[in-house]
Every structure is written in C-alpha cells, then in structure tokens.
Amino acid sequence: MTAFAYRNGALFAEDVDLAAVAAEIGTPAYVYSTAALVANYRAYVDALAGLPIAVCFAAKANSNLAVLRTLVQQGAGIDVVSTGEMKRALAAGCPPDRIVFSGVGKTAEDLEAALLAGIHQINVESLQELELLSQVAVRVRRDAVVAFRVNPDVDAKTHAKISTGRKGDKFGIELEDALAAYERARALPGVRPVGIAAHIGSQLLDLSPYRDAYRRLAELVRDLRAAGHVVERLDLGGGIGISYKGDPAPALADYARIVRETVGDLGCHLMCEPGRSICGDAGVLLSRVIFIKPGRTRNFVILDAAMNDLIRPAMYEAWHGIVPLRQPAEGAAEAEFDVVGPVCESSDTFAKGRSLPPLAAGDLVAFTGAGAYGAVMASTYNTRPLVPEVLVDKDRFAIVRKRPTFEEMVAGESLPPWLAKVD
C-alpha cells in the first residue's frame, strides 16, 4: 500500500488525509490514488521494455472514467468485454485502435458497435460467434480483424470462480480446434484472422501456469503458420496477482522473462491485459463503525459498508486488510471480531475472527487492496445507493462518481396505470 500510509497518526492517500475525504464525501466511499495507478502501469511498460507489446488495461477490474482516462493518458490500451465498457473506453479518450473486445457472449449488436467504432481487434470465442461476426461485417461493410481466443487447458492455480483456461471452462475455442477455426475464418467474407488470444485466469501468484500456457500458444502459432496461415498477433491475457494478505506477489521481471523465453521470438505483436495488478492496491474503501456488538460466542464490528459495496469477500471468500484511519497506539491490545455490514444476509461478512486494534462506534476504517473488482461490482441491494468514488492526485481530490439520491435511484421506475391511482 505504498500510496497509502500513516502520517502523524492519520492515514493518507498520497498527500490527502482520508479522514478529510470521509468528512466531505461520507462513507462508505472508494478512494483511488493516481500515483499508484500510474506507477503500476509504468511497471509493466518498464518490465516488458524491448518487446513488441501493448499493455491494455482490463476495464472489468475498474471501469470508472477517471481511472480509465488516467491510464489512457499514460499510453495504455483498454481490454473490454461489453459494448458498455467499449463506450467507456472511448469516452475516456482511448483511441479505437488501442481497444480489444473480448467476451464469450457477444451479440450482433455488440459486434456491430465494435466494427463501427473501428477497434483494434475482436477476440472471437466460438465458431458460432465467428459466423455471426461475418454476417454483421458484411452487413455493415466493415472488415473484422479477429484473434481466436483459445483454451490452452492450463489450471491457473487460483480461485475456481476466476479460472478461465481449463477444459470445461466456458471461455475460448479448444486448442485442438484452432486450426479448423482459422480455416473457416479464411473462407468467410468480412473476417480477417490475424492472431491468437488466451486468458487463463485472474490473481495468479504462481507464474508456472503462464509458462505452460505460453508454450502451448507458441506451438500453436508455429503449427498455424506451417499450415499457411498468417499469425501476426498474440494476446497473452491478464497480468499477475497482487498481495492481499501479505503473501508475496510475483515479480513483474519474472513474468517478463517468461514472456521473452516462450513467445518473444515468434515475431508477433504481443499484448497483455492486466487489471487487478494495476488498480487493486491503488484503491481503498472507507467505512465507518456503526456498532461494536459483543456476544457470548462472537464479537462483531458492524460497519456502514456492506456486501453490495464490496462483494469479493461474500463471493470469493476474499481477504482484505482492514485498518483504522487513526493509527493505533504502539502496543495497543487487539481482539478478535467478525467484521460485518448492515445488509440483511449472513453472507454480508467481510472477515471472521479478525484480530483488530481497539475500535469504537464512529471510528473510520479502510479496506485495503479494494481498487479492483470493488465499485465496479457494486449493486443497490437493499436499496442502498451505489458507493461513491474519489480520485486523489497529490494534495487534491475529486468525486468521480457521486452517491445517488433516493430520487435518482428510482427515477427509472414507474407504476403501471392500475397502480398509479392512490385509493
């Protein structure tokens, strides 16, 4: 958490006191650090220097316009998985030729929007999608530049819900079918196959699955070329994992070494699509203690943040650090608590048996490592407003997504005529 540190007993984001943000914006609220976003992106660029590679940020990790604009200004491309994300990338100023469209269930409307926008590449994930893309391309009179996402059947050794490259996963074309897919694409009008893509999963802390997957991709590229096909591009998928619980994250230098050793000699234009490792530790979620609730078997810290604001612990059993905004006194005794939110679900639990310093009602805390898959996965469950987002830059901060009012939350709803009249 290099961008977040205690100064004179108060937790800061860069040069901004987070308690001042909470006082102005209220809680819960997400806070992102510009310096951390830029440093994490530049770390990829530096580690991969000398390779013909583009770093495309995975918008699904954090699609806030200000976050995207910050990275686009640094030269990043954007990996999108929906028309909405593509429109966000364009609205953030990303040139179309730096946008890659992935995703297993693209509709005709998605494909048409991508073609009309003139994006860099569409990663096709099935023969059915290929056929549909050809039809759409002919209709709108645009050539579709295509890479085939293949499933290399490699276990990423990460959480089962975010593993995407094994046989049986819904993503991609099986490796053995890639040659036939290329053959079919060459026979279809409006489609120009140029490469191969793969993505084996998220939050990898062991890099050996990447080595295995990239070796299989390199072999496939050579086989396709031997069969007379053009393979100019190779999309390597997501980046490395981050440290949530103090477990060491992989070194980018080691990841870059694997890329160089496995696919660096293919003469392909490469791209990678990190998300979490760029924005994860660049964000925190601020929350306030509502109650300290003692029990006969368990003690609870009840926060104003809930699973609708940060769903990763409920969905993935994910671990996030929870730290007070006021630095605890040295040697302060800790006690074990279950940390929970106010949503009416037992799964609205952030931590069980977590050892925490003394806390009281009204105290502020921060969830660390919350910049990825946090606000972007938030909901309005229990009619709780979407959590606001704040971007810090040195000693200044701005709201980059406001907290909606109740009236704004229900503005899209209406009563049918037979219910509109009040008796």
Cβ neighbours of residue 105 closer than 8 Å, sequence gap 6 or more: none
Measure the CA–CA gap between 329 and 337, rounded to whole angstroms.
19
- Same domain? 232 vs 327: no
Measure the CA–CA gap between 278 and 257, rounded to whole angstroms.
19
Return phi, psi of residue 384, to 5°. Answer: -95, 135
- Determine the 3-state secondary structure of 266 from DSSP: coil
Place of tokens 């530790």: 281
Measure the CA–CA gap between 38 and 2, rounded to whole angstroms.
13
Q: What is the pLDDT of residue 169?
A: 57
Instruction: Tell me if 401 is assigned to some domain.
Output: yes
Closest CA to 72 of 49, 105, 96, 51: 96
Instruction: Tell me if 356 is assigned to some domain.
Output: yes
- Same domain? 327 vs 228: no
Q: What is the pLDDT of residue 57?
A: 98
Q: What is the pLDDT of residue 15?
A: 98
- Same domain? 81 vs 159: yes
- Under 8 Å between Cβ of 324 and 359: yes
Query: How many CB atoms sit inside 10 A of residue 36's CB?
Result: 23
- Under 8 Å between Cβ of 287 and 28: yes
- Of 277, 303, 336, the residue at which a domain comes to its end is 277
Distances (CA, A) of 327 to 5, 262, 289, 365: 10, 46, 15, 10
- Same domain? 265 vs 384: no
Q: What is the pLDDT of residue 421?
A: 78
State the binding site for substrate: 276, 312, 316, 345, 373
Cβ neighbours of residue 302 closer than 8 Å, sequence gap 6 or more: 289, 290, 291, 292, 293, 340, 341, 342
- Same domain? 247 vs 109: yes
- Of 257, 277, 297, the residue at which a domain comes to its end is 277
Q: Roughly how many angstroms between the first and final C-alpha of the chain, as a whole number?
A: 57
State the binding site: 239, 273-276, 312, 316, 345, 373
Q: Residue 268 catalytic? A: no
State the binding site for pyridoxal 5'-phosphate: 239, 273-276, 373
- Same domain? 297 vs 272: no
- Residue 13 is inside which H or E element, if any? strand 10-13
Instruction: Tell me if 337 is assigned to some domain.
Output: yes
Measure the CA–CA gap between 232 and 175, rounded to whole angstroms.
18
- Determine the 3-state secondary structure of 409 from DSSP: helix
- Same domain? 150 vs 223: yes
Bridge-partner residues for 31, per DSSP?
A: 284, 390
Give the up-direction half-sphere exposure of residue 202: CA atoms within 13 A in the CB hemisphere: 17
CA 293 to chain centre: 34
pTM of the shown model = 0.94
- Same domain? 141 vs 289: no
Structure tokens at 367: 């969830």
Structure tokens at 415: 């009563």
- Same domain? 114 vs 227: yes
Q: What is the pLDDT of residue 176?
A: 87
Interhelix angle 252-263/34-47, rounded to 10 degrees, is 40
Q: What is the DSSP string of 32-52?
A: EEHHHHHHHHHHHHHHTTTSS
Which of 56, 94, 268, 344 is catalytic? The answer is 344
Q: What is the DSSP string of 84-125?
A: HHHHHHHHTT--GGGEEE--S---HHHHHHHHHHT-SEEEE-
Bridge-partner residues for 121, per DSSP?
A: 100
Instruction: Tell me if 335 is assigned to some domain.
Output: yes
Q: What does DSSP assign to residue 264? A: T
- Of 277, 311, 326, the residue at which a domain comes to its end is 277
Rounded CA Rg of the chain: 23
CATH at residue 374: 2.40.37.10
Query: How many CB atoms sit inside 10 A of residue 315's CB?
Result: 15
Instruction: Tell me if 270 is assigned to some domain.
Output: yes
Measure the CA–CA gap between 390 and 20, rounded to whole angstroms.
12
Q: What is the pLDDT of residue 159?
A: 43
- Same domain? 247 vs 318: no
CATH at residue 178: 3.20.20.10
Instruction: Tell me if 417 is assigned to some domain.
Output: no
Based on the number of CB atoms within 10 Å of its own CB, is 45 exposed (0-12), middle (13-18) or buried (19 or more)? middle
Closest CA to 202 of 255, 276, 271, 259: 276
Instruction: Tell me if 316 is assigned to some domain.
Output: yes
Instruction: Tell me if 141 is assigned to some domain.
Output: yes
- Same domain? 302 vs 389: yes
- Same domain? 402 vs 318: yes
Block means of pLDDT (10 residues each) for the chain, length 423 residues?
89 98 98 98 97 97 98 98 98 98 95 98 95 98 95 61 48 86 94 93 85 93 95 93 88 96 96 96 98 93 98 94 94 92 95 95 98 97 98 98 97 93 73
Structure tokens at 201: 């999963």
The domain in which residue 352 lies consists of 4-31+282-410
Structure tokens at 183: 């053959």
Q: What total number of domains does the chain contain?
A: 2
Measure the CA–CA gap between 261 and 290, rounded to whole angstroms.
53
- Under 8 Å between Cβ of 151 and 171: yes
